Amino acid sequence: MPTTLRHHGIVLTDHFFPVPLDHARPDGEQIEVFAREVVAAEREGEQLPWLLFLQGGPGNGSPRPVGPDGWLRVALRHHRVLLLDQRGTGRSTPANRQSLAARGTPAQQADHLAHFRADSIVRDAELIRERLLGEGTRWSTLGQSFGGFCTLTYLSLAPEGIQEAFVTGGLPGLRTSAEDVYRASYPRVAAKNAAHYARYPQDVETVRRIAAHLTEHEVRLPDGSPLTVERFQYLGLLLGQGSGSHTLHHLLESAWISGAAGLELSDTFLEGVRAQVSLAASPLFAALHEPIFAQRSVSTEGTRWAAQRVREEFPQFDAERALAAGEPVLLTGEMIYPWMFDLDPALVPLREAAQLLAERSDWPDLYDTERLAGNEVPVYAAVYDDDMYVDRDHSLQTARAVPRVRTWLTGEWEHDGLRVSDGKVLEHLFSMARGER
């Protein structure tokens, strides 16, 4: 029986759904997918349309609301919301170093993880829709970031299940390879570095000094794992968020402390770095970040650590070169590198499986371009002009290729606009759907 809680103006009902691990084998192994139903307390008994929330990631669980705040407040005015923990995340059957250890060899682990991309997530959603709403029904979807990627997969596989779709920062390139994604990404990350250093010019020397220290000393984070220069550079992930530049600056301010042997990196700084660079809470993000771009009709070579390979085309991200030339050390962005599986304790046990995923070349297509060319489902998409994580031009190209996609191109918000705008981003999309914009 579902568990229901009444909490600060909302009613939360927990659901667990058995789904096939492999949807091509519906009678095979089953896993569980968790979803939390949310409705405004005053509308609990009403027959409201459903809105499925598809979280960003991959590999992140859905939000855990404590009240009708932010975008959820806007959504609950019109809908009963389902917060889906995509397979492998949150309270769904886990997929991490602990659970995967029971799967056997690295090859068996990789085969298991291959079932955790958008196509499987969409097929889970369809089973859940039929069980909750009944056959022949439709619901609306809200896809944030990777959730928008899932939306385009949904429109490719089962558009009959969607009434209308809302996307925030997540229109993917339909025919872009992982290499295409990163060739477009590195220049945007470099621009974000330049903007940060213009805002906080003192951070140029601070970052250079930390990078130089890391090249000369062995430094470990509080969890015992090494902090290398490249791992330190991964802090650039923050620069794609609305307040990320400020968060980075405040972290850098705490970098140094005077110890027995002179200046050293402070525990406060090292713990702050650990919180940002550890992927213990979202190992699927690391294992599947490049495979979410893989489609055999686009490339038959596999992703092969595309971010690492393409990085060599952008020597400005070479910290040692920058230090020798007296230039600013650039931080990186939303890229996953093979060395992460050597350094992060949560990822080390997955190293061989991740390598097999990187070499895999037979990934099924995620987007049916012919079916999308005949799309009849209304889609309302926020495209952020300065999005560091999802390329604006790739998004707009997709919007032109898929009928009934309306875009709102805005420079007011960064990639996390849905979360930080206090509902303004979602309200704008809803007003587009109502014909008010």
Type of residue numbered 191: A
Whether the CB-CB separation of 370 and 155 falls below 8 Å is answered with no
Decide: residue 252, CB within 10 A, 0-12 exposed, 13-18 middle, 19+ buried: buried
Tell me the catalytic residues.
145, 362, 415
Hey, how many other C-beta atoms are within 10 angstroms of the C-beta on 266?
15
3-state secondary structure of 432: helix
In this structure, the strands spanning 262-265 and 3-7 are unpaired
Q: Which residue has the tokens 């939303």?
A: 334
Q: Please state the separation of Cα 177 from the chain's center in Å.
A: 17
- Beta strands (DSSP E) in 41-188 are 50-54, 80-85, 139-144, 162-168
Hey, how many other C-beta atoms are within 10 angstroms of the C-beta on 130?
13
Q: Please state the separation of Cα 180 from the chain's center in Å.
A: 18
Question: What distance separates the 2 farthest-apart alpha carbons in the chain?
Answer: 71
Cα–Cα distance list, 415 to 142, 209, 387 (Å): 15, 30, 5
Cα(251)–Cα(148) distance, integer angstroms: 31
Determine the Cα angle at 418 with ends 415 and 35, to 5°.
Answer: 115
| 35, β-bridge pairs | 15, 84
